[in-house]
Structure 1
């Protein structure tokens, strides 16, 4: 593999580090090595230490599925402890179907990018039929847009691509840092290539469930997290002015959503509000901006504080959303339409106003390619790995880490207790987590026992805004 200049999407690292980029051609279908090929985009930031300090390559993945990993070699590396930066060439790559690696294109995706979109919480028989119809149209759009690649944009195929990158770099082992979906990808690599695993950190772990089952679990955890948010905002009533009880804050929240559903503001309606809430609930530093945005809307009628910085229908988002569904639906059998409808009713029974933004695998009920096998995760033949989890992460609930470790015997779990955010190592600024994980990556020894770290608890209210 030859390396050279990187595209503009890859930032320059701080001097004296440098980043370089290259490509690698791999078969679309590994059962047909002489057939159509996909060109993978790869980036590399060389280790900054001496040759004696070098431990090899550290592939990194930011999550998704659908996330572009090409710039992640620079952005994540900048946050890694110095000992890890000195030890590893950090390798980023766009998984197949994402970024610059044969990006998936599902076109309109059943109207997903229409703004304002239809209310994502269907109420009543007619709304449920419309919801299921939109999923059917999404699946049809992906079948047309992605075409013959539809079965091959899977996690297992990406795991084989990772090993092709390893081989092209001339390395005997792959060390890996995967966050969120990256943990699922790492577990798939361990299943396919257990004897090629070096040191592997799986952060914010996706459990070993079918994607649809995972999405349902996540939706329930989001309800619990939102209740914590309501209590937190009420505790800081003098700062946010949304009410002094959780019920008051919920009423303000419901009023905001109801008004936006009835009178969308420049394409920002109920679906767009739910998307903003979904994003905010995953990181506690986003709670104050969400509360401020609700207050400003109720006070001034202006939803600007709730809008994302980037429009939802930008090219990167379109690729992400297409790749997300395509990968999830390629990874194993999807649910039936009847189950999707039944689960919608169960979730609404638990709470009449759930956040369903993360239920991407519902589209797999109508997918035009329906795989018979599930993605294999973990292997007793792989060396022990390190799992890292936040105790109250609503995006990848900690139960997933406990379940996955059974597929990876001898592995250890680093838990950040009293924490409510997604993404932990070299992300939360917790010395206990970072030091334990860095020691494993550099020295290669798993801890003698699970590691328990004290988290920051709930955030303060932050400075007042106008």
Structure 2
């Protein structure tokens, strides 16, 4: 099975949706402020119907979630709504695959657009029934505070649980969340996570805290380019099957990475 990929888009030039530290004395209370319109997103390959379902906003969170007097940090948030909102089943949080991504929010739109043009029932389920959410990173991200940022947003949105899709460096917010809040993690799929500032031991510990049916780690060039590598086609298939249906690949699959 092969997913149709959109043409590559330029992830640069977005103004306004950046992670902002609140200025001293800023009176904004913690919460989500949804904007009337999103800043113009670059890239002619972005699907206009997907953009029409997209909301952008600013999340004001404590600079230190465990110290109420620590001030506030403002983060961007982008939500691509499910195509059938009355039948919506949940949310999928996601992050770009680099800590230095120049644009916030574009990856969520790109992901939702790519899913829309995929030719499987699993991806159609994701497009129709799940919101895709991208939360901006702090200027100086810390694993614990980033996980608490996601938990803050979950509570603000009133979601019982969240699902997470991360690739490379974009995996670490989900790993931190799964380690700290396993009871609220629905399904987490990581694609070739990189160690970053955390150790492999932390990755194994985080995975071990989640039941086996709620975690999946794959290898392959997911969404990056059209690749002839079998692992890439394998990952393309099972990301959709797992997030939509909870179906995991067999142990013989060429893209499966075990945590043993």
TM-score (norm 2): 0.68
Aligned counterpart, 1:3: 34
Question: Residues 435 and 164 (structure 1 numbering): CA distance in 2 closer, same or farther, change over 3 Å?
Answer: same
Asked if residue 169 in structure 1 is aligned to residue 200 in structure 2, the reply is no
Asked if residue 21 in structure 1 is aligned to residue 21 in structure 2, the reply is no
Measure how far apart 1:10 and its partner are: 6.6
Which residues in structure 2 correspond to 1:1-80 (within 5 Å)?
Answer: 1-4=32-35, 5-9=37-41, 13-15=47-49, 17-49=52-84, 51-52=86-87, 54-67=88-101, 68-80=103-115
| Aligned equivalents of 1:170, 1:13: Cα separation in 2 | 28
| Aligned equivalents of 1:50, 1:36: Cα separation in 2 | 35
| Aligned equivalents of 1:427, 1:82: Cα separation in 2 | 21
Q: Look up the SS of the partner of 1:96 in the other structure.
A: coil
Question: Residues 10 and 95 (structure 1 numbering): CA distance in 2 closer, same or farther, change over 3 Å?
Answer: farther
| Aligned equivalents of 2:160, 2:100: Cα separation in 1 | 28
| Aligned equivalents of 1:29, 1:379: Cα separation in 2 | 25
Aligned counterpart, 2:216: 386
Measure how far apart 1:163 and its partner are: 1.2
Deviations 1:325-360 (A, max 9, x none): xxx4xx69xxxxxxxxxxxxxxxxxxxxxxxxxxxx
| Aligned equivalents of 1:39, 1:70: Cα separation in 2 | 15
Query: 2:146 aligned to 140, 153, 158, which one?
Result: 158
Measure how far apart 1:426 and its partner are: 7.2
Deviations 1:255-303 (A, max 9, x none): xxxxxxxxxxxxxxxxxxxxxxxxxxxxxxxxxxxxxxxxxxxxxxxxx
Q: Judging by fraction of residues, say which structure has more strand.
A: 2
Unaligned runs of 5+ in 1: 98-149, 212-327, 333-373, 391-422, 454-466
Q: Judging by fraction of residues, say which structure has more helix.
A: 1
Aligned counterpart, 1:188: 176
| Aligned equivalents of 1:437, 1:32: Cα separation in 2 | 37
Aligned counterpart, 2:243: 441
| Aligned equivalents of 2:47, 2:176: Cα separation in 1 | 30
Q: Look up the SS of the partner of 2:48 in the other structure.
A: coil
Per mean C-alpha deviation after superposition, the further-off stretch among 60-69 and 72-81 is: 60-69
Count the aligned residue pairs: 204
| Aligned equivalents of 1:182, 1:69: Cα separation in 2 | 13
| Aligned equivalents of 1:192, 1:425: Cα separation in 2 | 28
Rg (Cα) greater in structure: 1
CA RMSD in angstroms, aligned pairs only: 2.7
